[in-house]
Structure 1
């Protein structure tokens, strides 16, 4: 638009006129010293001007403009900025956050996940971002906690990326092995921006949790050095993390999502699991016929195929992760060859599982 050009908008039955106004900074500042300052901004041959919009409407619509139209304009502008901004992935480096552009392509549309569960997660996210006034009225911090649990390769990290892309939230990837103390942890968490997702992956391996009966099996992984459950400022502790999740420090920011991931939910301290900390528990399962069809569509743009029934039947008999299915589908450009390879892969895995069961039954393991 050029100076003096107008555009007309209509909202809720009322007509509004916007007019672009361009002004010389020197004229606006109004004194010789400020004129010199304004000229300095324009040195190098660049022409500087102040641009603004004037809004006009019939005076009888003043209340409607203030109460309805201007909030609508601000909300629309915010939505446009959110769509256009580059999402960031923040990580800890030298005791401070450093950021890179987040270009993870995962979306809820491409996520290999049960359709009902997917809709439940999306509805919960939408309800969260739309309830600012509700959280304020009820005296709660505007945050939401999600626990993602399930075997490796079931899409936990992809779900986090899909959440970020869906909400246009930055991700803060907190690797607790990089944090030396509760005070460092607190400083980092307070330094997060609003409208962001804090992710702590493999939480069961990052904090010294209670060892309950059954936790001493061969699959148990020891907590990483330097992490404990006691309350000490010279260590990262479970209580220090929980104080941020739902203590007084949880009010240091707005519109924040906290995500913990684990392969073994049963190994987590109950203190991590109660409502108000992890509000929604999401089980990321092995590949199902439904999630397989999503992957086939993603990688080969095929909605149905003569080999689908055989593959889906095999998936009912064998535990196979979405990551394994995706890896096989990527090996061939042709859909027939890719699906044939997938059948061979699942059958081989089924045979290996059968041999393992026979070995265990015979006591030779």
Structure 2
């Protein structure tokens, strides 16, 4: 509201009047507030018979509506944690951010439609389950484990989740966290309605449950970095432990704030300690695998605006038997020239994709044949026979 503006509100058949004013400062020798910064206040006027309605219902209604408007109008942000080490003795905040404006959605996400719908329904259920989590006595949070080969859309899935829920994203870089205490501080500084992401967690730290000794690690450091005076070599090494990360996910401090999602991404499932990814911590495990024909159709619609094409049948026959990722398919479907017609673009891109699928299929068959031969040799079912030849070059019986 502008200064001295008046508005009328109606709530449960009762009328309320709001007015905006500024505090008038008494004339003194010292000016406490400039004219434009004098404290503002609001006056609510209503009939005395509505006093109970105001105290019990109307004021809480105003507060809840205000929060909802703030959420709708806010600009979502992408956060990343600042390095723990501060050589210059000054650090403003543990998180820095940029505006989050990535356009990916579930509609543009290339994956199996049934799995996509299952994830959407799971997210909707979580968003509307505040009372349920209170009832069962659990913190209002949920863990997702996204795993699969590189290029299968794990990061894009996170963006689609954030855009669907209208959440902020906190991208946590574990190698920049000094220790477990620092990790706890980062958690405390996050807000509700957010997604906490740890990407490639199998590459961030040794969290396999078989942590190496510091002495073994130090032997590998042949070229030591030159550090500023007063900075220890160990200060540059993250001391986050598996137990510290477990407490971060579902310990006592994980309950600070609500409506939070934690997402791990990784390429190799077997490299993590089972305690880290068990149900209850990572509640839903989602495998993002190689491109299927249904995923290809989504990409063809996104990149070429195609719903059907005579070459689709050939693509369908080849794509199921080739381990090609959605990222590789998308690269082949991206037009390389803007000076040709849409039909020519589609034909060229699809033919390039078909060539790539043929090559990928041959590579799969070659790997399968090599693996089968290695397996037979290991079992002893394959024998190497040397055939001697006489002086004339003929085989000797």
TM-score of Structure 1 vs Structure 2, range by shorter chain: 0.7 to 0.9
Aligned residue for 1:42, secondary structure, equals helix
CA–CA distance in 1 between the matches of 2:372 and 2:358?
Answer: 21
The match for 1:158 is 156
Match of 1:300 among 288, 300, 304: 304
Match of 2:95 among 93, 97, 120: 97
Match of 2:74 among 69, 85, 98: 85
CA–CA distance in 2 between the matches of 1:58 and 1:316?
Answer: 73
The match for 2:269 is 265
CA–CA distance in 2 between the matches of 1:79 and 1:152?
Answer: 38
CA–CA distance in 2 between the matches of 1:34 and 1:299?
Answer: 69
The match for 2:194 is 196
Q: Which runs of 5 or more structure 2 residues have no equivalent in the other structure?
A: 85-93, 211-216, 222-236, 339-344, 378-397
* Aligned 8 A contact 2:22 2:40 in 1: yes
The match for 1:42 is 36
| Change in CA separation of 1:308 and 1:72 when aligned onto 2, cut-off 3 Å | farther
CA–CA distance in 1 between the matches of 2:5 and 2:36?
Answer: 22
State yes or no: 1:148 paired with 2:146.
Answer: yes
CA–CA distance in 2 between the matches of 1:239 and 1:283?
Answer: 25
* Aligned 8 A contact 2:197 2:263 in 1: yes
| Change in CA separation of 1:49 and 1:192 when aligned onto 2, cut-off 3 Å | closer
Q: Once the 2 structures are TM-superposed, how far is the Cα of residue 359 of structure 1 from its aligned partner?
A: 4.9
Aligned residue for 1:240, secondary structure, equals helix
CA–CA distance in 1 between the matches of 2:184 and 2:39?
Answer: 44
* Aligned 8 A contact 1:146 1:278 in 2: yes
* Aligned 8 A contact 1:211 1:267 in 2: no
1:273-314 deviations in Å (ceiling 9; x for gaps): 222211111111211111111111111222222222221221
State yes or no: 1:314 paired with 2:318.
Answer: yes
The match for 1:328 is 332
| Change in CA separation of 1:242 and 1:41 when aligned onto 2, cut-off 3 Å | farther
**Count, aligned residues:** 335
Match of 1:337 among 348, 355, 358: 348
CA–CA distance in 1 between the matches of 2:355 and 2:8?
Answer: 64
* Aligned 8 A contact 2:177 2:238 in 1: no
1:236-290 deviations in Å (ceiling 9; x for gaps): 1000000111111212222211111111113221101222211111111211111
Q: Which runs of 5 or more structure 1 residues have no equivalent in the other structure?
A: 213-221, 227-232
TM-score normalized by the length of structure 2: 0.73
Q: Once the 2 structures are TM-superposed, how far is the Cα of residue 329 of structure 1 from its aligned partner?
A: 1.1
The match for 2:204 is 206
The match for 1:216 is none
* Residue pairs, 1:1-365, within 5 angstroms: 6=7, 14-15=12-13, 17=15, 19=17, 21-26=19-24, 31-33=26-28, 36-38=31-33, 40-42=34-36, 50=40, 52=42, 54=44, 63=53, 67=57, 74-95=63-84, 96-210=94-208, 235-332=239-336, 334-359=345-370
CA–CA distance in 2 between the matches of 1:94 and 1:187?
Answer: 13
Farther off after superposition, 241-250 or 340-349: 340-349
* Aligned 8 A contact 1:292 1:322 in 2: yes
Farther off after superposition, 292-301 or 78-87: 78-87
| Change in CA separation of 1:254 and 1:88 when aligned onto 2, cut-off 3 Å | same
Q: Once the 2 structures are TM-superposed, how far is the Cα of residue 362 of structure 1 from its aligned partner?
A: 5.7
Aligned residue for 2:19, secondary structure, equals strand
Structure index of larger Rg: 2
CA–CA distance in 2 between the matches of 1:200 and 1:316?
Answer: 31
Q: Once the 2 structures are TM-superposed, how far is the Cα of residue 211 of structure 1 from its aligned partner?
A: 7.1
| Change in CA separation of 1:79 and 1:339 when aligned onto 2, cut-off 3 Å | farther
Aligned residue for 2:170, secondary structure, equals strand
CA–CA distance in 1 between the matches of 2:118 and 2:368?
Answer: 37
